[in-house]
A and B are shown apart, each in its own frame.
Chain A
């Protein structure tokens, strides 16, 4: 027999009467599917377990019976029933721990302890946060991943693979239109796979590598506690820091992880901000690459997106009813990450990501092909050209916004192509980058939003995001023109 915890007298009395009551109702709909013992179910009822009580409430008679038992017990106790129960367990646990756990030496301040202090002390912690973001995100992912790596892989792809593909297709497929499906400017291999492999993958890989490192070292919870106050102003808590940082890698993954947030309100705000103002790695990586030569343009883009993130968060928090959940988080010890674990994790995430986006990129190529063949695309592009012109863009960018609908990063990658041709001014680049960042999330993220938040909420968010993105683009363009700024 296993040892049971004995609770205070009034609680044991309540358990006894509830146990009898449960045993009598064991076959009812309420308890039939439960595997727990009657004693355990009685304790759950006494602790006001939300799901058991909501089931119980369907029958007012039953509900009253249980409530009476609970009230009788409560009146005899000094503390609330659930606190009394927890205390008894805790005392028993502590007693048992003192029997079975021996501390042989006093722990002295170790290196990890010193490091921990360094990460959470405001005087050192905030500068450290900035340093990590600068080197980890900007230098490593931005300059190395999105700059160096993309340049090389892209250069190799365009220089070595595309000509061969074009040549082979030209030889084996006699029809020009079918050749265009596979090769040439918009082909599956020359455009779809090239975007995925040469532009998106290097950025995402470097970001996930960096994220895994932060994850395994135990730094992320420390980041959460450092940023809790800032996030509170947006109706979120420090808990939302992890999804947001993950969102800078992949918004789809991040939307799924918003599940760890406590209140529905927090989850809605986090999902909304992720889809509006948190660009994924592929997207900001490409944008960083685009704007790298123009530091002022980069500052305008970064500053504006951050400002929108904070302002929209602040306003949403004011408008949405309810309060933000409290912040509590265990802070695990700092650990030296194991290289193997980091590589495995990065690999798994990349694999997931790659297989998630590759079909979309291929489909996009196919749609573009069909669209161009039937002239449908021309029509749509014609249709959005005035819109594009309104935000000061050359007509060549219209397709980019159309592609951006398939995936935000696909749009960004298209922008990359146009910029390579030298068609855009600094102002136009900034406006396009801003609109594409704010614009609709990719299809995968939309699916995840519907799954996690429901169709209605998702539609409401989309209905806000699309006009907002273009309106912001319009305002920025107007502002820059009026001020006579040339970035």
Chain B
């Protein structure tokens, strides 16, 4: 697969010999331990292999986890489609899955994941209610178009491969990060205000637009564009009928044939390159990609649009083969993840973390004000890796948590007509 070239092992990863030693030791110790025995930090190192989309795989997180917990975290970065494929076909190749909620609709029926016992999650009660109740912290119901996390958050039982409609005590994923996505633009090359999704197909940007080539996400961006420009109407954008899919793909195909798009991207870094090099001035984008373009010194705005945001959320899940010491370690890692340091780190990337209140003490007042409350930055804002991304006095694109997550129109999705949609999408890419 072409995507395999994206598989990376960050510098934090241990040597092959180290892994083998660790695994052998883990197997011996795991076999010797009685089920339910208290977890002991044995001298044998534990390695947790996390497979996911790379959006929240940072060496700094792995290093800090190693320091705090003694685990070695090994990341495998895959494209979204490959995460699903890996989870369904080779779930033994990782110990934790860093998946997005829409993927669950494909992965969970395969029975390759196990429910997570919420009683073992320390900060479970503090998780943002988007995931546990389907509402914002103030009680407002969130959009349910697409695969809103609440629809797939819970399993009927630990070993079940069916979703539960009510909180059951077994979560599919413990949310890690989520965000409201919109279009990224190059303000220096556009020179006028952009305020609607419809602009993606504006002939003014002919040959300078891009859309992401991951059907589950791309189709939603396309639907936002079609709806905004009045070219299509939808019952539920997150679950289109065949006719709605046809209309959407027709609009896209015509735009493609007219040369509207410069390229399609599949992987985070591709979108960064397209934008930073000026090949593209308006495109589907993910928040940290915008951050990355800016940290390269290139102006880039994550433009809020009047039709609202397309939201997504990701979390850590457990493959069903995990047990014993590795399983305990996975829970311990998740609890660490939610205890604040990692949350603050991710908030500084421009994501939102699942447990906001533990992250807050790890951020400066100014940082919290900038990232979460939409306030003017009092000092320069730095990325977690130390590059300056905003000068003092600037305000976050889209403003506060409420302005952004409160304006979510639709979630990333897998539709009932998925097979049809994917075929049509394929034809569009081939057209």
- Do A and B make up one complex? no
Residues of B within 8 A of A (CB): none
